Chains A and B, each alone.
Chain A
Amino acid sequence: MPLSDASPLPLTPEARAWLDTALAEVAADPAAIRTRFPAVRRHCGRGPLPDGRTIDEAARVLLLAALPLRDQALADEVAALHRYGDPAEQRAVLRALPQIDREGTGRFLDLVRGTLRGNDNTLIEAALGPYAAAHLPADEYRQAVLKCVFCEIPLARVAGLHDRADAELTRMLGDFARERTAAGRPVPEDIAPLVRPFTTTHGAM
C-alpha cells in the first residue's frame, strides 16, 4: 500500500499529511500526479536520506508507485513527467527507473540516453545508476563512463563499473590519459584502477 510506504520517511506532520493526500489523489486520478509531482520538494523537504537519496526523491518514487496505471499508459505518464520535469523531478524519475520498469524491459532507456546527451552533471549522475548499468549497450555505457571522466563526475558514483569495465573501456581511458598528459593537463586519479587490469602494451599513465 503506497500510504504505508511513506511511514519510514522523516516527514513533518504537515508534510506527511500533504503526501498522504497527494498519494490518495494520484491513486484515484492518475492525472493528479502532473501537478503533485512537481510540488513535492517544497512540501516534503529535500534533505538527504541515509541511502544517498533525498527526501523529495523518495517521496516522488512513492507518487510514481501510487499511479494506478500499467504498461504503455504507465510508460507514457512517466515519460511526460520527465519531459515536463525540472532537474529535481528528472533526477527522481531517473533514479526510480528500476522500480518503475519492474520487468526489466529497458523501455525507459531513451530517458537515460537523452540525459547523457545533456550538460547537467547532476542529471548525468542520476542517469548512470543501476538501470543504465543493467540495460545500456556496451558501446553506450563506455561512452557514458568517458563522459563522466570528462565532466569530472567521480567514477565511484557510476553504477556497474566493476562488472562492465572491459578492454575497450581500458583502451579509451588509456588514450584519454595520454592525451591529457601530452597537453600537460592532470589525469583524474580515479581512472587508474580501470586502466590497469587490462593494460598490456603501454605503461605510460
Chain B
Amino acid sequence: MRIFDPHIHMSSRTTDDYEAMYAAGVRAVVEPAFWLGQPRTSPDTFYDYFDSLLGWEPYRAAQFGIQHFCTIALNPKEANDPRCLPVLDELPRYLAKDRVVAVGEIGYDSMTKEEDEVLARQLQLAVAHGLPALVHTPHRDKAAGTRRTLDVVRESGIAPELVVLDHLNELTVGMVLDSGCWAGFSVYPRTKMSEDRMVRILQEYGLDRVLINSAADWGSSDPLKTRRTGDAMLADGFTDDDVDRVLWRNPVAFYGQSGRLDLDVTDGEPKPDETSSFEGNSIRRGGE
C-alpha cells in the first residue's frame, strides 16, 4: 500500500513517527502551515516556522524515505491578531517556492470579520500564483461555517477543483462535493472522523475528489490513520486499486495541479545521505 498523507503536521512529530509511517507505506506528505499550541505574536516567528516547513522537515523526511511538501498561509486563528498580519505581505515570496504546493491552511476558526478578509485575500493569492487552496473548516459550528466557506470560495472566482475543504463529516460532505470542490477528511483517534465512519462515507459518496489524511499534530492524533483507513477499506470489500486511488492517486492529482509536485527528486538534489553517512547524521545520532 503506497500512501500520500495530504495533511499532516510533521514538525510536531518525532523521527519514530517518520520510521513507522515509512513502514506503513507512507512515501509522501504535505504539511500545511497552521497554528501551534502556543499563539504566535509576531511575523518573524512565522518565517522561522516556514523555514522549518521548507528546510528542516523535508531534510528530516528524506532521511526516512519520505517526500515532504508544504502549503503556506496565515492560518484563520492568527488572522485575528493584528500583530501577525504583516505575514501576508511576505507570502508572495513563499508562494513562489518549489515545494509549496498550495495556499493553506486558510478558512474560518470563529468566523470573524478579520477571518473573512484574510480568507478572501489568500484565495486571491492562490489565483495569482496558480496554486490550489487547502481550506480548513471550523470545528465549532461546522455546518454553517462550511456553507459560509463555500460562499467565499465561489465569490473568489477560484476554480472549485483547485480547492479542498478539510475536516469534513457526514453533515458537510454532500454540500462540498456538490460545489465541485474536493472533500478532505481527517481521521482521528476520537474526534473529527474515524476509519469506520470514513468507509461508510466512501460507500455512500464514492471515491471521486476525496482526500483522506491523518492531520496528525501535537494533540491526540495518529500518523498511521491513513494506513488504518486503507486497511478498513480492504476489510470492507474495497479493492487494492480503490485504496491506491484514495490514498495515493487522489492527493497526487489534487496537489499536482500546482505543477510543483515533483515526486521523483533524485536529479541533482543533494540528499542527506549523500553528504553524510547514515549514522553520522545529526538526527540519526540523536542530536549529538
Contacts and interface: CB of A to CB of B under 8 A. Distances in A.
Interface stretch (A63-71, A81-89, A161-169): A81-89
By size class, the interface of chain B is 20 to 34
A151 B98 contact: no
A135 to B, nearest CB: 23
Contacts of A151: 276, 280-282
A121 B98 CA distance: 20
B38 interface: no
Nearest to B94: A84
Given A35-B93, A46-B267, A120-B55, A86 B99 contact: yes
A75 interface: no
B93 A34 contact: yes
B267 A35 contact: no
Contacts, number: 78
B249 interface: no
A87 B269 CA distance: 10
Contacts of A89: 97
A57 to B, nearest CB: 10
Contacts of A152: 275-277, 280-281
A95 interface: no
A38 B275 contact: no
Which of A42, A48, A120 has most B Cβ within 10 Å? A120
B98 A87 contact: no
A88 B98 contact: yes
B95 to A, nearest CB: 8
B284 to A, nearest CB: 11
A46 B268 CA distance: 6
A63 B142 CA distance: 47
25 contacts: A34-B96, A35-B96, A38-B94, A39-B97, A39-B98, A41-B98, A42-B259, A47-B267, A47-B268, A84-B90, A86-B54, A86-B55, A86-B97, A87-B54, A121-B275, A121-B276, A122-B275, A125-B275, A150-B280, A150-B288, A151-B280, A151-B282, A152-B277, A152-B280, A153-B276
Interface of A: 34-36, 38-39, 41-42, 45-48, 54-55, 83-84, 86-90, 119-122, 125, 150-154, 157
